[in-house]
Amino acid sequence: MAKKLIDLVKRKHKDAVVDSHNRLGDDTVIIRPEHLIEIATTLRDDAGAKMNLLRDITAVDYLNRVPRFEVVYIFYSIELKHQLLVRVLVDEDSCKVPTLNEVYPIAGWLEREVFDMYGVDFTGHPDLRRVLLYEEFEGHPLRKDYAVQASQPRVALRARERDAVEEFKEYVQDERAKGSREQY
Amino acid sequence: MAQDFIDTIDQDIHSEPMILQMGPSHPATHGTVRFTLTLDGETIIKADTEVGYLHRGFEKEVENKTWTQAFPYTDRLNYVSPLLNNFGYALAVEKLLEIEVPDRCDWIRTIMGELSRLSDHLTCLGAGALELNAMTAFLYAIEGRELVWDIVEAVTGARMTVSYGRIGGVKDDLPENFGEMWQKARARILDIHATTHKLLSRNRIFLDRMEGTGVLTPDQAIAWGYTGPTLRSTGVAYDVRKDHPYFKYNEVDFTVPVGTRGDNYDRYLVRMEELVQSVSIIDQALEKMEPGPINTDDPRVMLPEKQKVYNSIEGMIAHFKIVFEGIQVPAGEVYSYTEGGCGELGFYIVSNGTGKPWKVHVRSPSFIHMGGIHKLLEGSMISDLIPTFDTINMIGGECDR
């Protein structure tokens, strides 16, 4: 079963796969960002893959390599118990990857961390904001050109409340006219 | 007439949603996380989770240390079960190095890992009961955890920040009286387990708070990345120890308890049953393990014996190079995963062939569980947040890294 998943991806998406290997038992395909959504959908829906669990999304900064970044998706099938690593090559200039939010609900949350740490822009993401760091943080700390000892300016008290509060105000505006019992 | 009356009331009492900031240090959420809740009366209609209050740059720090120096940092991920993190990280690096550890080391890792799981589950159960005002159950559970930590201290020298794992082995062998210590603690832990069942499992107040709250369906749980006891409570028997055995889990006999409804009460019961399974795994492991070396003899990762270091130039150079330059890990990428205390703990490691990691990423179950927790909260009452947040068992240090 070792090469089965790689073959499946290659068969279904001939032009998409740049490279593949299963070194140390980790099946890996390396692809370009434009094919990501179709491949993820195949992996989720195909009867031979059934990869319903998106284990993790992370990124690697290879600094002097072109393309510089790699976003790594780890898919797993709870039923068939196999795993596939999908590595997406990302250029430094565009730094864009389509979001998998529609395919795997948890992807949106994990992509926020990658955006936070590496500054990768996930196109189509509904709520792409920092997750572990604060809004005013400058730069993306896990990039290799971010110094370990770099310090950040002191943040002034926030003038603006969080998004949710604004959202709430809009919500109140819209809903005030209605009676309380009809809302839900 | 009555209808008019209701209409009048409806006009007068127009209820607006209210924003409630819960956290970051709310006494009933044992972890630093902030929920921005939009409430309609007492019903949560929207929950926004904000994490990162304990962020300390784990991944960045480790990239600038040698492979071995990462161990103290892994202690501080899930600080309730630091040994599991130690061994998880060691396993990942060993996979990249393609080295095998001796049998005894695997047994020690199995035993100490299960001890850590005991402490993790006891903390979760105890703290959960405390947050529902069951102080007695909390005290019993914490007594059990103290017993576990006494053993951990006797073996590793520390209670929480253990740094006991090593690449290619463990720091030290188990002490000679380990069996005795375990027998004493074991009896008391099983006692506490029975007492907790008596105190909580059929307790009316506890049932009212736990049953039917925070419900997850199996599909939802998988789609939102839940693993560990949370996923198992929905009826999906996914346990890394069973499905992809590592250490010596394929040589011990244990069952994977699953729930049926995926609510808080099921998560509580799954954890209670896992305590018994962990105790049984340790019993079997102690019986089956045999004396032998605890570290691999691979000269790439092990420090030479002191005798050689002091009396030969080769030994001295080898010692110097491992300490100062670090273990040379071949270039490559690897994802290695183990069953942590509250879910699947994975390490994605990239090496460029030097003594320092190029990247160490932790798949921390706590962080991923926080991504989907709004699904559990929305539509429930605000008082349900407390048990739900507890049974998910989010650990701040692991979530925020």
B112 and B41 in a common domain: no
Which of B50, B68, B86 finishes a domain?
B50
How far apart CA A36 and CA A39 sit, in angstroms, is 5
Q: Do A72 and B348 touch (CB under 8 A)?
A: yes
Q: Which residue in A61, A74, A108 is closest to B335 by CB distance?
A: A74
Q: What is the ipTM of this complex?
A: 0.84
Per-residue pLDDT band for B15 (boundaries 50, 70, 90) equals low
Q: Which domains does chain A have, with CATH numbers?
A: 4-146 (3.30.460.80)
Given a cut of 70, whether residue A1 has pLDDT beyond it is: no
Output phi, psi for A59, to 5 deg.
-135, 160
E strands, A4-43, where? Answer: 17-21, 28-31
Of A122-131, A166-175, B254-263, the poorest mean pLDDT is in A166-175
Residues contacting residue B8 through CB under 8 Å, at least 6 positions apart: none
Contact check, Cβ <8 Å, A148/B36: no
- For position B78, which CATH number holds? 1.10.645.10
CB within 8 Å: A24 and B222: no
Same structural domain for residues B27 and B85? no
Residue type, B109: R
B9 part of contact set with chain A, CB < 8 Å: no
Of residues B10 and A140, the one with the higher pLDDT is: A140
Q: Are residues B38 and B154 in the same domain?
A: no
Q: Tell whether B34 and B117 lie within a shared domain.
A: no
Give CA–CA dist B192/B140, Å, rounded: 6
pLDDT of B194? 92
Residues B231 and B273 in one domain: yes
| CA nearest neighbour of A56 among B279, B382, B347 | B347
Give tens-digit pLDDT for A12-61: 777 777 788 888 878 888 888 888 888 888 888 888 788 888 888 999 98
Residues 201-260 of B with CB under 8 A from A: 222-225, 227, 236, 238, 243-244
Per-residue tokens: A72: 């790594």
Per residue in A90-111, pLDDT (tens digit) is: 888 888 888 888 888 888 899 9
Structurally, chain B folds into a number of domains equal to 2
Of all residues in chain A, the one with the smallest CA distance to B231 is A78
Chain B residues in contact with A184 (beta carbon < 8 A)? 40, 43, 45
> By the CB < 8 Å criterion, does A80 face chain B?
no
CB contact under 8 A, B225 and A55: yes
Q: How far is CA B158 from CA B162, B167, B260, B307, B398, in A?
A: 5, 19, 39, 28, 19
| Structural domain span for residue B94 | 58-400
Of the given ranges (A171-180, B68-77, B217-226, B350-359), which has the lowest mean pLDDT?
A171-180
In the predicted model, what is the mean pLDDT of residues B168-190?
89
B55 contacts A133? CB cut-off 8 A: yes
pLDDT at residue B5 tops 80: no
* Interchain CB distance below 8 Å, A56 and B332: no
The verdict on a CB contact (< 8 Å) between B51 and A131 is yes
Mutate to test the interface with B, among A180, A181, A183, A184 (most CBs of B within 10 A): A180
The pTM for the full model equals 0.86
Q: Is the predicted pLDDT of residue B366 greater than 80, yes or no?
A: yes
Domain check: are B230 and B333 in the same one?
yes
Judge whether residue A3 has pLDDT over 80. Answer: no
The DSSP call for residue A23 is G
* Residue of A56, A64, A112 to mutate, interface with B, max B Cβ within 10 Å: A56
What are B293-314's pLDDT values in tens digits? 888 888 888 888 888 889 899 8
| B199 close to B140: Cβ distance less than 8 angstroms | yes
Which three-class secondary structure string do you get for chain B? CHHHHHHHHHHHCCCCCEEEEECCCCCCCCCCCEEEEEEECCEEEEEEEECCCCCCCHHHHHHCCCCHHHHHHHHCCCCCCHHHHHHHHHHHHHHHHCCCCCHHHHHHHHHHHHHHHHHHHHHHHHHHHHHCCCHHHHHHHHHHHHHHHHHHHHHHCCCCCCCCEECCEECCCCCCCHHHHHHHHHHHHHHHHHHHHHHHHCCHHHHHHHCCCCCCCHHHHHHCCCCHHHHHCCCCCCCHHHHCCCCCCCCCCCCCCCCCCCCHHHHHHHHHHHHHHHHHHHHHHHHHCCCCCCCCCCCCCCCCCHHHHHHCHHHHHHHHHHHHCCCCCCCEEEEEEEECCCCEEEEEEEECCCCCEEEEEEECHHHHHHHCHHHHHCCCEHHHHHHHHHHHCCCHHHHHC
Determine the residue of chain B that is closest to A132 in CA distance.
B52
Mean pLDDT across the stretch B239-249? 88
Contacts of B294 (CB under 8 A, 6+ apart): B102, B104, B105, B108, B169, B170, B172, B173
The answer on B366 and B245 residing in a single domain is: yes
Task: Tell me what pLDDT residue B9 has.
Answer: 59
Q: Tell whether B220 and B282 lie within a shared domain.
A: yes
List the 136-175 stretch of A: residues with Cβ below 8 A of B: 141-142, 146, 148, 162-165, 168, 171-172, 175
Q: Which residue is closest to B53 within chain A, CA to CA?
A: A132
Nearest residue, CB atoms, B51 vs list A105, A108, A132: A132
Both B23 and B95 in a single domain?
no
In this prediction, residue A184 carries a pLDDT of: 39
Query: Confidence band (pLDDT; 50, 70, 90) for A180?
Result: very low
Contacts with B222 from chain A: Cβ below 8 Å? 52-53, 78
Q: Which of B27, B50, B73 is at the close of a domain?
A: B50
Are the beta carbons of A26 and B333 separated by less than 8 Å?
yes
Q: Coil, strand, or helix at residue A110?
A: helix
DSSP E strand boundaries for A52-184: 53-61, 69-76, 83-90, 96-98, 121-123
By Cβ distance, the residue of A53, A85, A179 closest to B222 is A53
Closest-approach residue (CA) in chain A for B15: A180
Give the pLDDT confidence score for residue A167 in this predicted structure: 66
Q: Are B331 and B67 in contact (CB under 8 A)?
A: no
| Residues of chain A neighbouring B361 (CB-CB closer than 8 A) | 56, 58
Task: Check if the beta carbon of residue A57 is closer than 8 Å to that of residue A72.
Answer: yes
Q: Average per-residue pLDDT in chain B?
A: 87
Containing H/E element for A95? none
Q: Say if residue B83 is in the same domain as residue B33.
A: no
Residue B276 is predicted with a pLDDT of 92
pLDDT at A183 over 50: no
Residue contact B368–A106, C-beta within 8 A: yes
In a 13 Å sphere around the CA of B176, the CA atoms on its Cβ side amount to: 0
| Residues B242, B288 share a domain | yes
Same domain, B68 and B165: yes
For B371, which of A109, A162, A163 is closest by C-beta distance? A109
Q: What is the pLDDT of residues B43-59, one digit of tens each?
A: 888 888 888 888 888 88
pLDDT 10s digits, B258-288: 888 888 899 999 999 999 999 999 999 988 8
Task: Choose among A24, A85, A163: nearest Cβ to B95.
Answer: A24
Residues 49-78 of chain A with CB under 8 A from chain B are 52-56, 58, 60-61, 72, 74, 78
